[in-house]
Amino acid sequence: MSILQDIKNAVRSRSIHVSYVDVGSCNGCDIEVLACLAPRYDIEQYGIYVHNNPREADVLLVIGSVTPQWVDKLRDIWEKIPEPKVAVAIGNCPISGCVYARKGTLTTPPVENYIPIAASVPGCPPRPTEILSAILSVAPLIFKDYEEKQR
């Protein structure tokens, strides 16, 4: 069992599938996530692959302060991700609402009220390197020895 687990650990550490969802923000953080894909930062050399399908993903990057229309849809997306899964909040908006945390704006931050968040990357927007290192440091905490932790 432990050999099988070791193989799974080794494979999972080099194959982290990421899906991102913008639940209402200025798109600045989306651009920073996409900058991770560019050759300057090259997220795929670390074994992180970006999809737009939550059913293929292990890590969900949540961007933006939650608008009321997104509340139920965000939960749907979270439930579609197969276990083991983890959500990472990117930017200030999912943490505090950032500049949208004012009277009269139709947002309902923080995102922790709707789905469990394992890590958050503050910044408006955060640097691509910060996003990268957050994913790389949170992934082994969740995915390593996942089957053994279940028992």
Partner 1 sequence: MRSIVYYVREFLRPEWLRKFFLVKTAPLETPSYFKDYPSLTGKECTACFSCMMICPAPNAIAVLRRQDRWEPEIYRGHCIRCGLCVEACPEDVLASGRILDTTHRDRTAFSSWYHLEVDDTLCMRCGNCCVSCPVNRQVDPQLAGTGTSASDEVVMRVEGGRVRILHEEKCTGCKTCEINCPNRAIRVARMVEGVQEEAEA
Under the rule (CB under 8 A), what is the footprint of partner 1?
A: 39-42, 45, 92, 95-99, 101-102, 120, 122-124, 127, 129, 132
Using the minimum distance from each CB to partner 1, give the nearer residue, 18 or 89.
89
Contact 120, 89 (CB under 8 A): yes
Using the minimum distance from each CB to partner 1, give the nearer residue, 19 or 92.
92
Smallest gap from Cβ 18 to partner 1, in A, equals 18
- Burial group, residue 52, by CB count within 10 angstroms (0-12, 13-18, 19+): exposed
Smallest gap from Cβ 45 to partner 1, in A, equals 6
Contacts of 130 (CB under 8 A, 6+ apart): 121, 123
Smallest gap from Cβ 91 to partner 1, in A, equals 9
Smallest gap from Cβ 51 to partner 1, in A, equals 22
Contacts of 104 (CB under 8 A, 6+ apart): none
Using the minimum distance from each CB to partner 1, give the nearer residue, 84 or 122.
122
Give 63's strand partners: 22, 90
The pair of structure tokens assigned to 44 is: 């795929």
